[in-house]
Structures are given as C-alpha cells and as structure tokens.
Amino acid sequence: MFWMPVLRQKWSKVQFPSRLRYAQALFPQWSFSSILVTSLSTNYSIFTFPPFDQDLSSGGINDQPSGYLASTSTSSVLGRLFPETHVTQRRGKGVYVKEKKMTDSLLPFLDESHPEDLEISSCGKKMKLLNCIQHTMKVINDPIHGHIEFHPLLIRIIDTPQFQRLRYIKQLGGGYYVFPGASHNRFEHSLGVGYLAGRLVRELSEKQPELQISERDILCVQIAGLCHDLGHGPFSHMFDGRFIPLARPGMKWTHEQGSVMMFEHLINSNGLRDVMKHYGLIPEEDILFIKEQITGPPASPIKDSSKWLYKGRPKEKSFLYEIVANKRNGIDVDKWDYFARDCHHLGIQNNFDYKRFIKFARVCEVDNMKHICTREKEVGNLYDMFYTRNCLHRRAYQHKVGNIIDTMITDAFLKADPYIEILGSEGKNYHISTAIDDMEAFTKLTDNIFLEILYSTDPRLEAARTILKKIESRNLYKFVGETQPMKQRIQKEDYKHLPKEVASAKPSDVQLEAELKAEDLIVDVINMDYGMEDKNPIDHVRFYCKSDLSKAIMITRDQVSQFLPGRFAEQLIRVYCKKTDEKTLFAARQHFVHWCLINDFTKPQDGDVVAPLITPRKLEWNTAGIQEGSKVKTQLFPDDSM
C-alpha cells in the first residue's frame, strides 16, 4: 500500500463519501482502485493497487510468488528505495511509505516527475525507478476480451517480423470463402491465447499462493500462449493437414513443430535472449519450458505415466503444462479463445463461458501429480464445451464447401511448388514445401502466396493459376455425397486408395454415358471427435467439492445424464468430382452410392433421389425408417388414446 498525504487544510474538511472523487480530481494521473480511511480526522488515506512485484534492482522480475506482499525491505523495488518497515514521513513533501504492506503495483501509474516528488536523491535509485516507469504494461483493445494488457517483454515478441507474419494467415483458411465474417487471422487469436493464459495462471496464483507460482512462470506461460501458433503455414490447417502430407509423403510435420522452430528463430534473430534476462527470465531454462508447453513432452520409449518427462519445470509444477495446450484432457485457453473468436466471426452462438471456469479452477493433487480441477457442479458445462467444439467442426471447420476450397488451394500449391522460389538463410532458395526447413524462408510464406500465383504471368504456373481462378469465379469441384462407415473405421494409410475404389464401383445395371477415372475424384475422410479420438475427455478431468477443496474426484458419464453421448468419435466420408458436366456427375453419384452399398456404409442422405435404381437393393436401407416410424406411431397413439 502507498500512503499519500493530501493538502492538510483541504483534505480534513472533505467527508468520507467524497474523498475518492476528490483524490481523483487532485491527482488525475493516478488510478485509484480502492480507498480506506482510518478516521475522518486523519490527514492521509490508504490507496491500494493490484500486485505487480517487479524487481528493478536487477532490472527484472523477482521470483516471489505473484501477489506476494513484501515483508522485507529487499523484496520490493520501492522497499529498496524506502527501506523503512514502519510509517515514515519524508521531510518536505510529506510522502508516507509503509513497506510491510507495499507492493510495486503503483509503478505503472508513475511518470518521470515522481522521483523528485518522492525526494529520491540517489542517482542510482532514481535510475532504477525511471527504468521501471518506462517498462509499463501496454493495453490492446480486443473485440473479444476487451482492453487487455501485455507485459513489455510480450510486446517485444509481438513487434517482430516472425510474429507479425501471423497477420497474413487466415484463422479458418478456406472457411473465409464460405463465411464472409471469418476474415480474422492467427495474429489476433495468438494475442487472445496469451492474454487468457495470463488470466488463468494469475487466478491460480492468487487463489493458491502455496503453489509458489513465480512471475517467471507467469511470463513463460503467457509467452507460450502468445507463440503457440507461430508455425502455421498458409491457410492454417490446410498447410500442415493437406498440403505437406501430399508434397512430402512420409514426413510427419505439424504446425506445433513449426511453432517451436519459429520461436527459436524469433528469439535469436531479434536478440531477445538479453531482453529476457533483463526481465528476470533465465533463457536456458525458460525457453525450453515455453517450447514444452507448445509441443508436449518428448517421446519416451518407456510407457510410464508416473515418470516426469518435462525438463523446463519440476513435477511440482505439472499443472502449468495444462494451460496453453492441455495434453491430458484438452481443456485449455487455446480452445477458449478460438471458441469465442470464431463464433463471433462466424455468427454462431458460443455456449461456453471460460470466465466461469477460471473462477472455479483449482489445483489438486492426483496420483502424485498436480492438475487443474474444477467444481463438481461444472461437469455439465464441460460437456457443453466439447459439444460446442463438435458443433463448430460440423458447421464451420469441416464445412463441405470450405473443405473443397482448401483441397483446390492444395492442388494449386502442389502444381506451383516446383516453380515458386523463396529466399532463405545463406542466400539459399526454397519451395513452398521445403520452406519449413528454413525459418528465414518460412517467415516469408503466408496466404499472400495465393495472390502471387493468381496474378503471376509465368507460363509454368498456368495449371495452378487456372485452379485459383476457378475458386475466384466459384467454379468449384462438385460435391457427390457423404456417408459413414458402420463398423470399422478407414485407416489413414488406406485413404490414398479410396478414389480408385469409388471409380471401380460401377453398377452393372445402370446405363452410364461417362467413364470415371480415379483422378477425377476426391475422397475426403474426416474424423470427428471430442478431441481425444474415441475417448471421453471428461474421464480425464478431476473435480473437487465445496466441502473439501483439496480432494480430487472423478465423475462418470452416467453420474451426469443419460442423454450424454455413448460414442465420442465418428468418421465422415465425402466424395467430390473435379469434372462438372452433368453426365460425369451422374456417373459419379451412381458409383458413389454403389460403393456405399458394397462396403456396408450408411445410406447417403440423397441416395433415393440421385440413385433410385440402386438404393432398393439393400434391405436395411429401406426398412430401418419404416420400422422406426412404426415405433413412434405406436408410442404416440396407443389403443386407448382416442
């Protein structure tokens, strides 16, 4: 707390209800969060601020737990400047300091004139205070979270070419061609995740000081949230989900790997190691910790869940790895931001309130490991969260038109890849597919490559240019149909054989005027789940009760509701045709329905319309609806109801 006298002859005459307004009028440069008055006759009052705990003596952030109220004269910057541990009046100006209850939270509200007001005569102390004043938080106005604050170190990271690159990568890739509002980019999403990571970790720190969460920990978690998507390529998931697997078969590359590589490049090329030290971080430890939060633990040949695989932080701080990218159950701030942000831009209702989760979040010990838990009454809201995720995938992320636009862009990039050159480090040129090997080249690879190909005059890019022109004129590959496997899921290694299977599934008794080839077809296999394949993610969440905040419990699906899903994963198969003439499309639909029939897949929704000669052959396709209808009729109109 900071004790400040006000003009004696005026202050003592101001009554309690008006003192806060009066103080604000006298000191407009100060931000008063609360006011306590010891008595109506006193000549000073107590103004409190949120904790900040910045240690200027070392130019960085101390390692005391966040929210810790300094109790010694060496743990606070102002404590060092004013080492007294009792209320003391500085002569002349009459500034009062009570170090025992003082935090450094008032520092962001100071300006260059205050060292003189505080009568700091020592040049060294004055420079330390000025140094802190110049490193205040920056406020950014975000459409989702409002006015959000960022630490100066985060601003230094944001203001780099590697991070600014995210301004030119669409969050939803080809989805922008379906949802006109989905024009947002990875840049603003990354800001949101960094902010939410800070909110959650600070809430845990303030709620449970025994966790010993330091300012170093908080900064590292925020940086991980900020940088978790640095590795995305053009059109986001299209790049690592569609393009790279086709351009470089056998290479298992993910955008998380790219994020770690780009983060390392960002730190080194901008000289930020010294800046990190300046703000109290230890680069050798903390850079590793940040990377681990993005990618998860290193692979281990030993399947032992009790073994601690991380190196950035000890086992006692295992919960810190569940904030940005939660490998345990998928509940993390990354999802919270894209739920809110994507729903806002898509025009879809978001039913999950992350603020409520943060309020109920606590760390409990489970099997000698500390995990983030929530109240038992929140279990239904968590099911709603994963249902929201599923809805977003069904309605937006896996939209049949958005997906085919991503596929067409992929085709164009594959045709252009040998002829596109991107200058990387040491003067070496890279292609679209090989830019991931050099972060200098990858920094230059964004959605702008689409326009570069579209407006090029290079005759070698004609085939790629033609595909992109089709997208611009909405002359897209045509949707043939959708089905689902009834029993066994199709394995990833079999995906490449599916177009040939469909082209070969020619019905014998249907007259077709067009011949289908495998290269005319695209078979898109989509795995829909709650984020953990066929597992229920709530089985990996632990809860606590109001009666015992430290005991973690498990809640099964049957304890929540009988209406919850029994299965948590399914597979969709969509077929598209590159040719758009009516004869080829008619043939493709007959092939597709016949292929579904012989593989015991579900009946296509429009099967009776597009293939009326084929669907009657399968008894189950034509009796299931009648049987269900009879059951419903029996229930609605029993014999004695009329």
Which is nearest to 484 in space by CA: 527, 531, 522?
527
pLDDT confidence of 548, banded at 50, 70, 90? very high
Which of residues 34 and 607 earns the better pLDDT score?
607
- One-letter identity of residue 479: F
pLDDT one-digit tens code per residue, 278-307: 888 999 999 999 999 999 887 654 556 678
Percentage of residues of the chain with pLDDT beyond 70: 73
Find the farthest-apart pair of alpha carbons in the chain and give their distance in angstroms, rounded.
105
pLDDT value of position 86: 35
**pTM flag (> 0.85):** no
Percentage of residues of the chain with pLDDT beyond 90: 60
pLDDT one-digit tens code per residue, 581-627: 999 999 999 999 999 999 999 999 888 888 888 888 888 887 655 44
Residue indicated by tokens 């300094």: 70
CB distance 573 to 484 below 8 Å:
yes
In angstroms, the CA 591 to CA 516 distance is 9
The three-class DSSP label of residue 480 is strand
The Cα-based distances of 616 to 81, 591, 613 in angstroms read 88, 15, 7
β-partners of residue 571 are 527
Angle between helices 186-207 and 333-346 (to 10 degrees): 140
pLDDT value of position 100: 31
pLDDT tops 90 at residue 225? yes
Query: Is residue 274 classed exposed, middle or buried when 0-12, 13-18 and 19+ CB atoms within 10 A define those classes?
Result: exposed
pLDDT one-digit tens code per residue, 452-491: 999 999 999 999 999 999 999 999 999 999 999 988 889 9
In angstroms, the CA 24 to CA 18 distance is 10
pLDDT value of position 516: 93
Write down the catalytic residue from 135, 145, 255, 371: 255
With residue 45 as reference, give the H or E element that holds it: strand 44-48
pLDDT confidence of 26, banded at 50, 70, 90? very low
The three-class DSSP label of residue 521 is strand
Which is nearest to 279 in space by CA: 220, 333, 211, 358?
220
Which of residues 94 and 539 earns the better pLDDT score?
539
**Top-ranked range on mean pLDDT: pick from 134-143, 496-505, 553-562:** 496-505
> What string of DSSP letters covers 423-454?
E-GGG-EE-TTTGGG-HHHHTT-STHHHHHHH
pLDDT value of position 31: 46
For the chain, give the mean pLDDT.
Answer: 81
pLDDT confidence of 156, banded at 50, 70, 90? very high
pLDDT tops 70 at residue 119? no
> What string of DSSP letters covers 75-136?
SSHHHHHS--SS-EEPTTT--EE-GGG--GGGGGG--TTHHHHTT---HHHHHHHHHHHTT-
For residue 50 the two structure tokens come to 């949120």
pLDDT confidence of 248, banded at 50, 70, 90? very high
pLDDT tops 70 at residue 103? no
Instruction: State the average pLDDT over residues 213-226.
Output: 97
- One-letter identity of residue 357: F
pLDDT value of position 13: 38
What dihedral angle (degrees, nearest 10) is formed by the CA atoms of 332, 336, 338, 339?
Answer: 130
With residue 337 as reference, give the H or E element that holds it: helix 333-346
pLDDT value of position 535: 79
Residue indicated by tokens 């890849």: 417
What dihedral angle (degrees, nearest 10) is formed by the CA atoms of 297, 303, 306, 308?
Answer: -30
Which of residues 434 and 28 earns the better pLDDT score?
434
For residue 592 the two structure tokens come to 């597709």
Q: How many CB atoms lie within 10 A of CB 620?
A: 10
In angstroms, the CA 73 to CA 88 distance is 14
CB distance 290 to 219 below 8 Å:
no
E strands in 181-240 = none
In angstroms, the CA 544 to CA 535 distance is 22
Instruction: State the average pLDDT over residues 269-278.
Output: 95
> Is 237 an active-site residue?
no
Instruction: State the average pLDDT over residues 189-196.
Output: 98
Residue indicated by tokens 């002569």: 91
The count of C-alpha atoms lying within 13 angstroms of the C-alpha of 154, restricted to the half-sphere facing its C-beta, is: 29
For residue 144 the two structure tokens come to 């989702």
What dihedral angle (degrees, nearest 10) is formed by the CA atoms of 486, 491, 496, 499?
Answer: 0
β-partners of residue 423 are 429
Which range is least confidently modeled, 156-170, 328-342, 404-418, 503-517? 503-517
CB distance 410 to 242 below 8 Å:
yes
For residue 545 the two structure tokens come to 């009760």
pLDDT confidence of 636, banded at 50, 70, 90? very low
Residues 6+ apart with CB under 8 A from 404: 476, 477, 479, 522, 524, 576
pLDDT tops 80 at residue 130? no
Angle between helices 215-227 and 283-295 (to 10 degrees): 50
Q: Where do the domains of the chain lie, and which CATH numbers do they carry?
A: 2-133 (no CATH), 138-301+308-437 (1.10.3210.10), 481-520+576-636 (3.30.70.2760)
Residues 6+ apart with CB under 8 A from 130: 112, 115
